[in-house]
Amino acid sequence: MKKKDLLTLFEYSAEEIGGILGLAAKLKDGRGVSEKRVLEGKTGVLIFEKPSLRTRVSFETAIHELGGHVINLPQESVGMGKRESVEDVARNLDRIVHLIVARTFAHDTLTRLSSSCSIPVINALTDLAHPCQALAFGQTLAEVRPGEKLNIVFVGDGNNVCSSIMVICAKLGHRFTQVGPKGYEPRTDLAHKCKEICAASGGGITLTANLDDAVKTADVIYTDVWASMGQEAEAEKRKKDFGAYQVNAALMAKAPADAIVSHCLPAHRGEEIASEVLDSKACVAYIEAENRLHAQKAVIVHLFS
């Protein structure tokens, strides 16, 4: 039997994604009462090359609540790719533990981990994708705008979060627009794959630099930091390039009155998003942050089913 991973959402069908989101909602409603203890007697390892708050805490809690034990392996302890090859790390863990959750700079590191072991591997963020964030976003939409086909507008860099939001929108038949300065679009190959998915799902993909046009029909406005982890050297240039793309009260006034806002967090208040929006009733970023736990529990149950 072929093992299951979560590397990107491209490998998951709309039905699988819908099943995970439905399970996540049930686990949230029944938290502490109807837990599926699929990790009873099992151990999950967290390997994090990048800093983390929500991802680390939510995965530790998820593994614990599903009956498992957690081992944290920070990069300085493992030296993956330096002290030992990625493949040797995977081969050793494969014989000892039952699950690997990895947050790596390069997506290639994650795929090498996966191809070198027979246990499930979950992407906790790479330079290519953040599928767990996208699933938490999908769960949040199902809570606050259930049953609707929505117009999702991502304001900012076409980064890993943007790309994963684009994929889940394509899979679920939502309309997705990325708006930002030229040169900061999602990768062309990813956008092309999403457009092909939309042909079957009924969704749509648009890439534009016109902010006002993009938000005037938005049901959801999403944003993320302008310089992601590993792009610190570009931070000042990106501040200048994205200066006109802040999500603030003036921008929200151009969107429909019932538009909601989200952010994957951490937020750089006063840069990509103003506090007046992040702290407003329209913002669902903290609901989405909580849903990281429930979506990830559902993913783990799916992988061990």
Give the catalytic positions in this structure: 103, 130, 133, 224, 264, 292
Residue 78, Cβ neighbours under 10 Å: how many? 18
- Cis? peptide before 146, omega within 30° of 0: no
Q: Report the length, in residues, of the chain.
A: 305
- The encoded tokens of residue 15 equal 């039905």
Q: Is 178 helix (H, G, I), strand (E, B) or coil?
A: strand
Determine the Cα–Cα distance for residues 22 and 297; give it in Å rounded to an integer: 12
Determine the Cα–Cα distance for residues 288 and 133; give it in Å rounded to an integer: 8
Determine the Cα–Cα distance for residues 18 and 10; give it in Å rounded to an integer: 14
124's enclosing H/E stretch is: none
- State the residue for tokens 């956008």: 191
Q: Is the CB of residue 277 less than 8 Å from the CB of residue 247?
A: yes
- Angle separating helix axes 131-144 and 160-172, nearest 10 degrees: 50
Q: Is the CB of residue 103 less than 8 Å from the CB of residue 78?
A: no
- State the residue for tokens 């929505």: 150
